[in-house]
Amino acid sequence: MGDSLIKGRGLSPGTATSEVVVCNQLISPLGEISREGLVTSGPCENVNITGKILAFLGGRGSTVGSYTFLELKSRNIGPAGLINESAEQMVVTGAIISDIPMVDRIPLDILSNGDVVYLNGSSGEISIKGVEEKKVATVYLMHGGKVLLLTRSESASSYPGQVSGISGFIEKGESPEQTGRREMEEECGIRDSVTKRIGREIYVRDKNIIYEITPILMESKSDEVKLNDENSGYIWIDPSKMHNYETVPKFKETFVSLVSS
């Protein structure tokens, strides 16, 4: 098992450890997976899934597709495990009747072809060998209807020069909210804020590090910012203008999710 531990949803019990094949597509098992265990369409066309963990967006097509996995398993050429972003019942049924462990709610963009993945279909967890996980809290700070954007220093270890919220590593014994408040004071000199919402964790991969990020929406009574050397600049903007800035990965869509939930 690797150092990362990603939490998804367990759908078919059992465990598997194998290389992962990542297919950024929906797959209809009946017609798009051959009797020889090859994907027959899309970006993974002609890729062999025998003995591999097959990661794809989700299923489509006829319920008869469930039996595709059963036939492959009976001939010892089936996949070792299945990972979906969002599972469809036909694929889940196929995994269960074929005794193939399966999880979903795993973003494909944290996986790379050739990663050695451990999959637990009971707990819903996966880990990636040699990939470290770090837990981070990111505060989206609001004031007067505007959101604070920080420009990361060019010497930052990740995403230098890009725009982000107030972020920091969660230290042992801290809650994400406590981390957010500590970082807000250290990076911006702001102590006065109210927590509005804490969102669901998101995952971002940068080389051999996966960041598990807890997004937090906070509101401050003050717009006075005193930067430390972790960031080179700041600006308060109307959220509708966020698309004009080069932000760190998943920053914009996470903000939309926070304010709309």
User: Torsions phi, psi of 187, nearest 5?
Assistant: -85, -30
Q: Is 62 a catalytic residue?
A: yes
For residue 195, what are the β-bridge partners? 218
Looking at 4, 12, 41, 62, which residue is catalytic? 62
> What span, in angstroms and rounded, lies between the C-alpha atoms of 211 and 117?
17
Closest alpha carbon to 22 in 59, 56, 49, 69: 56
Dihedral of CA 170/176/178/181: which sign? positive
> What span, in angstroms and rounded, lies between the C-alpha atoms of 103 and 81?
9
Q: Which amino acid is at 32?
A: E
The DSSP call for residue 33 is B
Catalytic residues: 62
